Amino acid sequence: MISSDSERIQLAQHHVRRGREIVARQRELIAGLRAHSLDIVDAEDLLKVFERSLVIFEEDLESLLTRQYSLTSPVGHRSLNASR
């Protein structure tokens, strides 16, 4: 189980890195298929799934980083205190 924001951010960063690698690899595979005049429909459909997943990973990471920044910045602390 992930307990700290830092661990969550590290895991999210890993997901983004791995997602980008997978997307890049799938694009390479499609290029290879295309170069050999092979059917790329299924490969492109899978690429779309990978790209949508990557967007989710990137949004999750951005959300975690924004949350961390708002909790650690002096401005974030003032706005938290002002709402109490």
Q: What is the pLDDT of residues 4-34, one digit of tens each?
A: 899 999 999 999 999 999 999 999 999 999 9
The answer to whether residue 42 sits within a structural domain is yes
The answer to whether residue 84 sits within a structural domain is no
Q: What is the pLDDT of residue 76?
A: 52
Structural domain of 15: 7-75
The answer to whether residue 80 sits within a structural domain is no
Q: What is the pLDDT of residue 84?
A: 40
Count of beta carbons in the 10 Å neighbourhood of residue 80: 11
Burial bucket for residue 2 (CB in 10 Å: 0-12, 13-18, 19+) = exposed
The answer to whether residue 83 sits within a structural domain is no
Tens digit of each residue's pLDDT (9 = 90 or more) over 45-71: 999 999 999 999 999 999 999 998 888
**What is the count of structural domains for the chain?**
1
The answer to whether residue 55 sits within a structural domain is yes
> Locate tokens 């924004």: which residue?
66
The answer to whether residue 2 sits within a structural domain is no
Instruction: Mark residue 37 as left, alpha or beta (left: phi above 0; alpha: psi -120 to 50; beta: remaining).
Output: left
Which letter does DSSP use for residue 16 in this model?
H
The answer to whether residue 58 sits within a structural domain is yes
The answer to whether residue 33 sits within a structural domain is yes
